[in-house]
Amino acid sequence: MKKKISMTLVATTLVTASIFPLYHAYGSDSGETGTIEHDVVKNAIFLIPDGFSTAYADSYRLYKEDGLPVWDEYQMLSGMISTHSADSMITDSAAAGTAFATGVKTNNGVIGLSPDGEKLQTIVDLAGQAGKKNGLVATSTITHATPAAFATSVDGRNDYEGIAKQLVQHEHLDVLLGGGRDQFLAPEQGGIREDGIDLIQEAEQNGFTYMETKRNLLSAETDPSKKYLGLFADEALEPDFGPLPTEPSLAEMTSFAIDHLSQSEEGFFLMVEGSQIDWAGHDNDAAYAMKDSQAFEEAVKVALEFAEEDQETLIVMAGDHDTGGLSIQPNDEFNPGNLQHVKMTGEDMLSLVDRQYSNLEEVLTEQTSMSFTTEELDQIKNHKEPKLAINTLISEKAGMAWTSNDHTAIDVPIYAYGPKASLFNGQLDNTDVFQGIRQALIGE
Please identify every residue annotated as catalytic: 93
Residue 397 and residue 370 in contact, taking contact as beta carbons nearer than 8 Å: yes
CA 206 from centroid of its chain's CA atoms? 28
| Pairing state between β 400-401 and 322-323 | unpaired
Q: What is the residue-wise DSSP string for 367-421?
A: HHS----HHHHHHHHH-SSHHHHHHHHHHHTTTEE-S-SSEE---EEEEEESTTG
The candidate with the shortest Cα–Cα distance to 177, out of 219, 205, 140, 207, is 140
One-letter identity of residue 341: H
Q: Which of 350, 301, 439, 414 is nearest to 57 (CA)?
A: 414
Tell me the C-alpha distance between 429 and 427, whole Å: 7
Alpha-carbon gap, residue 289 to 294, rounded angstroms? 9
Choose among 388, 349, 379, 389: nearest CA to 366.
Answer: 349
Distance (Å, whole) CA 279 – CA 281: 5
SS3 of the chain: helix, strand, coil, percent, to 5: 40, 15, 45
C-alpha distances (whole Å) from 303 to each of 5, 237, 269, 358, 373 are 23, 21, 12, 47, 44
Neighbours of 262 (CB within 10 A): 19
- Alpha carbons within 13 angstroms on the beta-carbon side of residue 439 total 13
8 A C-beta contact, residue 287 and residue 360: no
In sequence order, which residues have a C-beta less than 8 Å from that of residue 280 and are 6 or more positions away? 51, 286, 288, 289, 292, 323, 324, 345
- Give the distance from CA 142 to its chain's centroid: 12
| Burial annotation 57-79 (CB, 10 A radius, 16+ → b, else e) | bbbbbbbbeeebbbbbbbbbbbb
In 3D, which of 247, 245, 349 has the Cα closest to residue 288? 349
CA 195, 201, 204, 210 torsion-angle sign: positive
Identify the bridge partners of residue 416 per DSSP, sorted by sequence position. Answer: 316
